[in-house]
Structure 1
Amino acid sequence: MFAKPDTAPAEATHLLHFEPLSAGDAGLDIPCDPTGRVGLDALGEKLRNDYFFARTLIGRLFARPTVRLVRPLGAG
């Protein structure tokens, strides 16, 4: 029996946020589930590569990621 692949929902409700350690550098947001699990199969190639890059550089360029709730457009 095969396990169901880990995939992200069509419209992400949460983002895994990688905060940069240096001021002025850009952070990175990756769609994830409420527990921070990333559906790699649902990501495009660039976003998947960005995720692996950020994950590899935790402690050097990025702080440990946090899970953030996505706010719908127009929500304050």
Structure 2
Amino acid sequence: MNASHVSHAYELRFNALFEDRRSFSFPCDATGNVDMDSMGERALNNYLYARAMMGLEVSWPDVRPSTAH
């Protein structure tokens, strides 16, 4: 997805299922599309990890208004 077409008014949020684990959130559009091409290496690795751990360590993601300004 082309970065110029992605609005960062939303975030894709993966909540931790366990108290001692971390949650993840990533900029996305209103339908939950994340621009993986514009991510740095660390963010991309975290995104791929969160996707792989859905239902195991993190919840299925929710699209919500971004808390970043």
Common topology (TM > 0.5)? yes
Partner AA of 1:15 in structure 2? E
TM-score by length of 1: 0.78
Aligned length: 68
Aligned to 1:18: 14
Q: Name the CA distance, whole Å, in 1 between partners of 2:2 and 2:42.
A: 16
| Structure 2 spans left out of the alignment, 5+ residues | none
Given that residues 20 and 26 in structure 1 are in contact (C-alpha distance below 8 angstroms), is that contact kept between their aligned partners in structure 2?
Answer: yes
Aligned to 1:60: 56
- Deviation of 1:12 after TM superposition, in Å, equals 1.4
Deviations 1:36-70 (A, max 9, x none): 00111111111011000000010110110001101
1:7 partnered with 2:2? yes
Percent identity, aligned pairs only, is: 31
Q: Name the CA distance, whole Å, in 2 between partners of 1:8 and 1:69.
A: 18
Larger Cα-atom Rg = 1
SS at match of 1:15: strand
SS at match of 2:26: strand
CA RMSD of aligned residues (A): 1.9
Which has a greater percent of helix? 2
TM-score by length of 2: 0.85
Given that residues 7 and 29 in structure 2 are in contact (C-alpha distance below 8 angstroms), is that contact kept between their aligned partners in structure 1?
Answer: no
Partner AA of 1:34 in structure 2? A
Give the counterpart of 1:50 among 46, 51, 56: 46
Q: Name the CA distance, whole Å, in 2 between partners of 1:72 and 1:21.
A: 23
